[in-house]
Amino acid sequence: MNNNDIQYLNEISYSYWKAQVLFVAVELDLFTLIEGKGKSCKTVTKTLRTNLRATEMFLNALVSLGLLSKVNGIYKNTAISNSYLVRNRSLYQGDRIHHFHNLWDYWSRLGVAVKTGKPTAYDDAEEEVDEHSLREFIKAMHNIGIVQAGEVCRKLHLRKYHRLLDLGGGQGTYAIKFVEKNPKMRAVVFDLPDVIKITKEHIKKSGMKGQVVTKSGDCLKDDFGKELYDIVFISNLLHIYKPNENQKILKKCWDSLSEKGIVVIQEFILNSAKTKPVFGTLFSLNMLIGTSGGSSYTGVEMRNWLKKTGFKKIKKINLNLDSGLIIGHKV
């Protein structure tokens, strides 16, 4: 008997316990409440109107997970919760954690998706967009984007590019960051009409109105505008679509680029066997549950799409958080 193997299986099996503790803490906005000098269990209970016994058990569990500390009955945020789980902090990740919470019920039907090969997350794909759910999703994407945008800026050496198309750009997180780092750049955020309403609000708040503009449409059906771009940035979009659809999207990117332009794909890139990294393989299942043909893809697959489109000098740049860039040059 190998106790390490048994422990490993146990940790996988009860990992949802840990996730649920984090989900509830974020839902209660507990870390914002405790920020600063900390709070006693009685104070937390009174403020949140929760049960005293249950709250103490819950807070102690958060201590065991390294998200709170406990000294003389006072609970305080740790460095990680203080940096990323206090609302309105610049690197706040609560919206993204809430998004994972929202996926809970969908993932409970994974077995059905594996048996049928069909998505189980949405009963009616043509149903009218729920604005509240959409805003929650876009905020979640902003949480991770704001963390990664700085690294992407450094790796791309953006100062040589002046015209950017941020394809499927959400609320404009990357476009705004890129323009902040390169004031000579003008950016266009392209996304679905319902998303662009949110994008416009975020651009206005950022003070980048004029330098960052929007265009609404469907990336499979609509053109990207008459302007030619130096760079087309596609972040976490291609995993939604089937390979032939991605080939079509990249052809439209080619047509939208100037002679010396580049396309930059940011994705969770799988190895050639499609077995690593762990998050990428699990994210493929998330696409199985939530899309009609989406998946995480390998670097080889994306390189082949780019080559078939005509892109040259294709290279990969590794990023943190299981992401990577695949870059293709028009000439």
User: Considering the domain boundaries, does residue 177 fall inside one?
Assistant: yes
pLDDT for 226 equals 83
72 and 153 share one domain: no
pLDDT average, residue stretch 2-22: 95
72 and 134 share one domain: no
109 and 258 share one domain: yes
User: Considering the domain boundaries, does residue 91 fall inside one?
Assistant: no
Domain that holds residue 193: 104-329
Closest residue by Cα to residue 165 from 185, 182, 147, 144: 185
pLDDT for 3 equals 86
In the annotation, is 239 catalytic? yes
186 and 310 share one domain: yes
Domain boundary pick from 57, 85, 113: 85
CA 99 – CA 132 distance, rounded (Å): 12
User: Considering the domain boundaries, does residue 92 fall inside one?
Assistant: no
- Please count the structural domains in the chain: 2
User: Considering the domain boundaries, does residue 256 fall inside one?
Assistant: yes
Strand ordering across the sheet containing 229-235: 212-216, 186-191, 163-167, 229-235, 257-267, 324-329, 312-318
Is the per-residue pLDDT at 202 higher than 50? yes
114 and 147 share one domain: yes
pLDDT average, residue stretch 210-227: 94
State pLDDT tens for residues 72-107.
999 999 999 999 999 999 999 999 999 999 999 999
207 and 245 share one domain: yes
Strand-strand pairing, 212-216 and 186-191: parallel
125 and 185 share one domain: yes
Residue 232: beta bridge partners?
A: 165, 263
State pLDDT tens for residues 274-310.
999 999 999 999 999 999 999 999 999 999 999 999 9
Is the per-residue pLDDT at 40 higher than 90? yes
Domain boundary pick from 51, 85, 119: 85
CB-CB neighbours of 75 under 10 Å: 24
pLDDT for 127 equals 56
In sequence order, which residues have a C-beta less than 8 Å from that of residue 215 and are 6 or more positions away?
188, 189, 190, 196, 224, 225
In three-state form (DSSP H/G/I as H, E/B as E, the rest C), the secondary structure along 126-172 is: CCCCCHHHHHHHHHHHHHHHHHHHHHHHHHHCHHHCCEEEEECCCCC
Q: What are residue 113's phi and psi, to 5 degrees?
A: -65, -40
SS3 246: helix
pLDDT for 107 equals 96
pLDDT for 125 equals 45
Which CATH number do you get for residue 145?
Answer: 3.40.50.150
User: Considering the domain boundaries, does residue 138 fall inside one?
Assistant: yes
Catalytic one among 99, 142, 202, 239? 239
pLDDT for 55 equals 98
pLDDT for 157 equals 87
285 and 176 share one domain: yes
pLDDT for 124 equals 44
20 and 158 share one domain: no
In sequence order, which residues have a C-beta less than 8 Å from that of residue 111 and are 6 or more positions away?
none
Which regions of the chain does DSSP assign to beta strands (E)?
A: 39-40, 68-71, 74-77, 163-167, 186-191, 212-216, 229-235, 257-267, 312-318, 324-329
121 and 7 share one domain: no
Which CATH number do you get for residue 55?
Answer: 1.10.10.10
pLDDT for 255 equals 96
220 and 80 share one domain: no
C-alpha of 290 from chain center: 15
User: Considering the domain boundaries, does residue 97 fall inside one?
Assistant: no
Instruction: Tell me the whole-structure pTM to 2 decimals.
Output: 0.93
166 and 232 share one domain: yes
User: Considering the domain boundaries, does residue 94 fall inside one?
Assistant: no
Domain boundary pick from 53, 85, 117: 85
CA 79 – CA 77 distance, rounded (Å): 7
User: Considering the domain boundaries, does residue 119 fall inside one?
Assistant: yes
Out of 152-156, 226-230, 249-253, the most confident range is 249-253
State pLDDT tens for residues 118-172.
999 874 444 567 899 999 999 999 999 999 999 999 999 888 899 999 999 999 9
